[in-house]
Amino acid sequence: MQPLKYLTGYPPHVQARVRELLAEGRLGAVLADRYGERHAVRNDGQLYAYVQALKERYMRKAVPLGKVLYDGKLQVVKHALGTHTAISRVQGGKLKASREIRIASVFRDAPAEFLKMIVVHELAHLKQAEHDKAFYQLCTHMAPDYHQLEFDLRLYLTQLDAAKAAGPAPPPPPA
Ligand SMILES: [Zn+2]
User: What are 140-174's pLDDT values in tens digits?
Assistant: 999 999 999 999 999 999 999 888 888 776 666 67
Q: Quote the ligand 1 centre to 173 CA distance (angstroms).
A: 33
Cβ atoms of 14 and 23 closer than 8 Å: no
pLDDT for res 4 = 87
Tell the CATH topology of 38-145.
Zincin-like (3.30.2010)
**Which pLDDT band holds residue 93 (cuts at 50, 70, 90)?**
very low
**Which pLDDT band holds residue 79 (cuts at 50, 70, 90)?**
low
Q: What radius of gyration, in Å, describes the C-alpha atoms of the chain?
A: 17
Cβ atoms of 159 and 33 closer than 8 Å: no
Q: Quote the ligand 1 centre to 6 CA distance (angstroms).
A: 14
pTM, two decimals, is 0.83
Give residues whose Cβ lies within 5 Å of ion ligand 1: 80
Q: Quote the ligand 1 centre to 74 CA distance (angstroms).
A: 13
Helix (H) / strand (E) containing 155 = helix 146-165
**Which pLDDT band holds residue 88 (cuts at 50, 70, 90)?**
very low
Q: Quote the ligand 1 centre to 27 CA distance (angstroms).
A: 25
Count of beta carbons in the 10 Å neighbourhood of residue 65: 18
Helix (H) / strand (E) containing 100 = strand 94-104
Is residue 86 helix, strand or coil? strand
pLDDT(34) > 90 = yes
